[in-house]
Amino acid sequence: MSNREQRSTTARVGLFGGTFDPVHFGHLRPAVELAEAYKLDTLYLLPNHRPVHRGPASASTERRIAMLHLAIEAIPNLAIDAREALRDKPSYTFDTLSEIRAEQPAATLLFFLGLDAFAKYDTWHNWEEILEMANLVVVDRPNAQHSDFSTDLLARQRRSVGEVIIDGRCGVIEQCDVTQLEISATDIRRRIAKNLSVRFLLPATVSEYISAQSLYKARHPSK
Ligand code: ATP
């Protein structure tokens, strides 16, 4: 069987983890581009339940997932994997990828993370073991910088520059250029708390939901 035939019969599972508090175009535009670049039938957005590397989310897990549903409605190639929401414990990527690896032993797993997150990847639970189960794709993000650790790790694990289609089961790290949108959920929450517009930073359906549920208001933080 040729490499090309092998590639077409091996499932390629793409996962983009995050808090999505709320989801915005800085997540969605890269997700669409990554699904295309890595030839994924589906890229799963993977909302965490209890984030490990930051304080608790402002909006509840249920509301963050509701916003994700509104955001990806009718967008081909994007879906939600809500498994971390169902685990009432800290959301470790290692646990999630172990589950998916057990479900799909032969699949090529691609875990996408922003450069800001990858710069601190050495603080992730079992980060070396994650690389024994999955490949990482580091997504460029405005103003994000590599750390010494992430520069070294990328140099060790990346394949030749320009080879953008990962087809091995695990262990490769690539950095991928996407349209740079300087949008963050923190900035969106701040604007809403100050009663400023968030138009064109996130889908209109999501901002309508935020208004209807009175999320991120300074005096009435959501539960
Ligand atoms: P916050 O401001 O609350 O920390 P965020 O906007 O960084 O949130 P997250 O849900 O924490 O959003 O991010 C999920 C993933 O998406 C992370 O890997 C993050 O690096 C990446 N990401 C977030 N915003 C962007 C962006 N504008 N461009 C590229 N990647 C992004």
Domain membership flag for residue 156: yes
What is the per-residue pLDDT for 166? 65
**The predicted structure's pLDDT at residue 165:** 57
Cis peptide before 56 (omega within 30 of 0): no
Residue bearing the CA closest to ligand 1, atom 19: 114
Cα 49 to middle of ligand 1, angstroms:
15
User: Which residues are CB-neighbours of 70 under 8 A, at least 6 positions away?
Assistant: 203, 205, 206, 209
**Residue bearing the CA closest to ligand 1, atom 21:** 114
Cβ–ligand 1 distance for 64 under 6 Å, the answer no
In this prediction the pTM is 0.89
What local confidence, expressed as pLDDT, does residue 91 receive?
A: 82
For the chain, the helix, strand and coil percentages under 3-state DSSP, each to the nearest 5: 40, 15, 45
Three-state DSSP class for residue 113? strand
Contact 161, 4 (CB under 8 A): no
Domain CATH number, residue 135: 3.40.50.620
Q: Say if 87 falls within a structural domain.
A: yes
Establish if 193 belongs to a structural domain: no
- pLDDT of residue 93 exceeding 50, the answer is yes
The pLDDT mean for the chain works out to 88
Locate 5 and state its tokens.
Answer: 């035939």
Q: Locate the ligand 1 atom nearest the alpha carbon of residue 184 and give its number.
A: 6
The pLDDT score that the predictor gives to residue 94 is: 95
Whether the predicted pLDDT of 199 surpasses 80: yes
Candidate ranges 22-26, 56-60, 151-155, 161-165; pick with highest mean pLDDT: 22-26
Q: What is the CB-side half-sphere exposure of residue 132 using CA atoms within 13 A?
A: 8
CB 91 near ligand 1, within 6 Å: no
CB of 18 closer than 6 angstroms to any ligand 1 atom: yes
In a domain, 198, yes or no: no
User: What domain range includes position 151?
Assistant: 3-181
- Per the structure, the count of domains in the chain is 1
| pLDDT at residue 8 greater than cutoff 50 | no
Per-residue pLDDT, 180: 96
What sign does the CA torsion over 57, 59, 63, 69 have? negative
pLDDT score of 9 more than 70: no
Q: Write down the pLDDT at residue 18.
A: 93
Cα–Cα distances (Å) from 139 to 106, 111, 216, in that order, read: 25, 10, 27
84 lines ligand 1 (CB under 6 A): no
Q: pLDDT per residue over 135-161, tens digit each?
A: 999 999 999 999 999 999 998 887 654
Report yes or no on 207 lying in a domain: no
Q: What per-residue confidence (pLDDT) applies to 182?
A: 96
Query: Has residue 217 been placed in a domain?
Result: no
On whether residue 90 sits in a domain, the answer given is yes
Of the two residues 132 and 219, the one the predictor is more confident about is 132
